[in-house]
Amino acid sequence: MTSTDPRNPLESVARRRFLISSWPWRSAGYLLTTAGPALAAAVPFAVLALPWAAALSSRHGFGARTVFAALGALLVAGLGPLVALPLAGVERRRLRLVDTRPVTSGHVPASGAARWLRVRYGEAATWRELGYACLLLAAAPVLYGAFFMIALFVVGLAASPLLAGNGSGRAGEPLALGPVKIDSVAEALPYGAAGLVLLAALPYAAALLAGAHAALARALLGRGSGERLRAELVEVSRSRARLVDAFEAERRRIERDLHDGAQQRLVSLTLKLGLVRVELPPGSEAGRDVADAHEEAKLLMTELRELIRGIHPRVLTDRGLPAALAELADRSPVPVTVRADLPERLPPHEEGTAYFVAAEALANVAKHSRATRAALTAATRGRTLVLEVEDDGRGGADPGRGTGLTGLADRVAVIGGRMLLSSPAGGPTLLRVEIPCGRRSE
Q: How many structural domains does the chain have? A: 3
The more confident residue out of 302 and 351 is: 351
Do 209 and 267 fall within a single domain? no
State the alpha helices, DSSP H only, in 159-224.
160-165, 185-221
Task: Specify if 230 maps to a domain.
Answer: no
Q: Are 380 and 386 in contact (CB under 8 A)?
A: yes
Do 307 and 323 fall within a single domain? no
Domain extent, residue 346, equals: 319-436
Do 165 and 270 fall within a single domain? no
Tens digits of residue pLDDT in 116-150: 888 888 888 899 999 999 999 999 899 999 999 99
Do 116 and 39 fall within a single domain? yes
Do 324 and 307 fall within a single domain? no
pLDDT at 237: 53
Neighbours of 327 (CB within 10 A): 19
Q: Which three-class secondary structure string do you get for 324-359? A: HHHHHHHHCCCCEEEEEECCCCCCHHHHHHHHHHHH
pLDDT at 439: 47
Do 99 and 202 fall within a single domain? yes
Q: Which of 343, 416, 410, 9 is nearest to 203 (CA)?
A: 9
Helix (H) or strand (E) holding 55: helix 50-55
Helix (H) or strand (E) holding 232: helix 225-257
Tens digits of residue pLDDT in 177-221: 666 677 777 777 888 888 888 888 999 999 999 999 999 999 888
pTM of the model: 0.54
Do 242 and 145 fall within a single domain? no
pLDDT at 440: 43
Q: Which of 4, 16, 29, 5 is nearest to 209 (CA)?
A: 29
What one-character DSSP code corresponds to residue 104? -
Do 288 and 334 fall within a single domain? no
Do 174 and 90 fall within a single domain? yes
Task: Specify if 441 maps to a domain.
Answer: no
Q: Which of 111, 125, 98 is nearest to 6 (CA)?
A: 98
Q: How far apart are CA 314 and CA 273, in angstroms?
A: 27
In this predicted structure, the answer to whether residue 442 has a pLDDT above a threshold of 50 is: no
